[in-house]
């Protein structure tokens, strides 16, 4: 099957936010796990990396039809409502770039898929706060990541009537979880779309937005044949195609 087409009949270009600057064998570098790239391709999009540091983040939208806000390190605790000793990879440059990019994407109604940190970024951008460390707030009944910093799987339940229900045939999902923070106070215009068994918010919707999907889990890690999680990336590509006609 060929890729879905975007502007001028070409496949939709999907920007993926990159991790912040870090030292590598040949100096400083930007990076991103290949799972994001592979998932976007599986969904029918052409992936391009959007690196922090743009003076005008919104200008990056001129090159893409949709944006994936990727996971990664914690948002600056000064923005989230409080920190914790387990905070890691805090990067002001990345925060500034992604908050600017998100604001521009929402204003321009560019399709957005926000994953893990991306969901948290959306909530913070709308004036919400985060639980600084989930075990402190919810205990250990559900592991949202396992020591030292590894992913794990658990179930989530979609709320009735949410937009995500159009992506998944079932209201009960097994997802790949890899986080230690999550939504505390909801941001303006947001409503929970899914929950973990312990009550942690696992997905958000933004009222009035044509296409903003935000999931706390990592759908890019569930690319096995037949996985319903790939539907998120296919749906993103479909919306990008329809918008760019």
Per-residue pLDDT reduced to its tens digit, 161-190? 999 998 998 999 999 999 999 999 999 999
The CATH number for 231's domain is 3.40.50.880
Q: 179 an active-site residue?
A: no
Give the pLDDT confidence score for residue 225 in this predicted structure.
86
**26 within domain boundaries:** yes
| Residue 23 pLDDT grade (very low, low, confident, very high; cuts 50, 70, 90) | confident
- For 68, 117, 216, the CA distances from 122, given in Å and listed in that order, are 12, 9, 11
Q: 116 an active-site residue?
A: yes
**62 within domain boundaries:** yes
φ, ψ for residue 18, nearest 5 deg: -90, 160
As given in the structure block, the two tokens for residue 77 are: 């605790």
Q: Tell me: pLDDT of 234 over 60.
A: yes
Q: 218 an active-site residue?
A: yes
- Provide CB contacts within 8 A for 42, sequence distance 6+: 223, 230, 233, 234
Q: Tell me: pLDDT of 245 over 70.
A: no
Average pLDDT, the chain: 94
- Catalytic residue, from 98, 202, 205, 220: name it: 220
The residue behind tokens 């002001």 is: 92
**226 within domain boundaries:** yes
Percentage, residues of the chain above pLDDT 70: 96
> What does the pLDDT average to over 16-32?
93
> Which residues constitute the domain of residue 21?
7-243
Domain count for the chain: 1
- Catalytic residue, from 84, 116, 180, 202: name it: 116
**1 within domain boundaries:** no
The span from the CA of 103 to the CA of 98, in Å, is 8
- Catalytic residue, from 84, 144, 154, 218: name it: 218
- E strands, the chain, in order: 13-17, 22-24, 27-29, 46-50, 66-69, 112-115, 130-131, 152-158, 172-177, 182-183, 190-195, 201-206, 212-215
**141 within domain boundaries:** yes
pLDDT digits (tens, 9 = 90+) for 85-133: 999 999 999 999 999 999 999 999 999 999 999 999 999 999 999 999 9
**101 within domain boundaries:** yes
**2 within domain boundaries:** no
pLDDT digits (tens, 9 = 90+) for 145-162: 999 889 999 999 999 999
As given in the structure block, the two tokens for residue 193 are: 């779309």
| Residue 1 pLDDT grade (very low, low, confident, very high; cuts 50, 70, 90) | very low
User: 65-74, 118-127, 198-207, 236-245 — which is least confidently predicted?
Assistant: 236-245
């Amino acid at each position: 099957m060929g890729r879905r087409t975007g502007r001028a009949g070409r496949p939709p270009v999907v920007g993926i936010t990159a991790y912040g600057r870090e030292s590598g064998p040949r100096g400083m570098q930007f990076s991103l796990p290949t799972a994001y790239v592979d998932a976007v391709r599986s969904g029918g999009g052409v992936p391009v990396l959007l690196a922090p540091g743009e003076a005008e983040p919104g200008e990056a939208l001129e090159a893409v039809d949709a944006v994936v806000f990727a996971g990664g390190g914690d948002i600056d605790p000064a923005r989230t409502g409080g920190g914790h000793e387990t905070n890691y990879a805090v990067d002001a440059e990345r925060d500034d770039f992604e908050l600017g990019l998100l604001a521009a994407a929402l204003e321009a109604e560019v399709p957005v898929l926000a994953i893990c940190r991306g969901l948290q970024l959306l909530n913070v951008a709308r004036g919400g706060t985060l639980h600084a460390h989930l075990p402190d707030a919810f205990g250990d009944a559900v592991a949202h990541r396992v020591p030292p910093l590894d992913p794990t799987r658990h179930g989530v339940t979609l709320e009735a009537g949410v937009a995500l229900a159009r992506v998944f045939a079932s209201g009960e999902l097994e997802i790949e979880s890899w986080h230690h923070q999550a939504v505390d106070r909801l941001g303006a215009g947001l409503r929970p779309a899914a929950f973990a068994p312990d009550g942690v918010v696992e997905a958000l919707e933004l009222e009035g937005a044509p296409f903003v999907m935000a999931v706390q889990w990592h759908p890019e890690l569930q690319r096995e044949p037949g996985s319903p999680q790939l539907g998120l990336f296919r749906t993103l590509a479909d919306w990008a195609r329809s918008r760019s006609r």
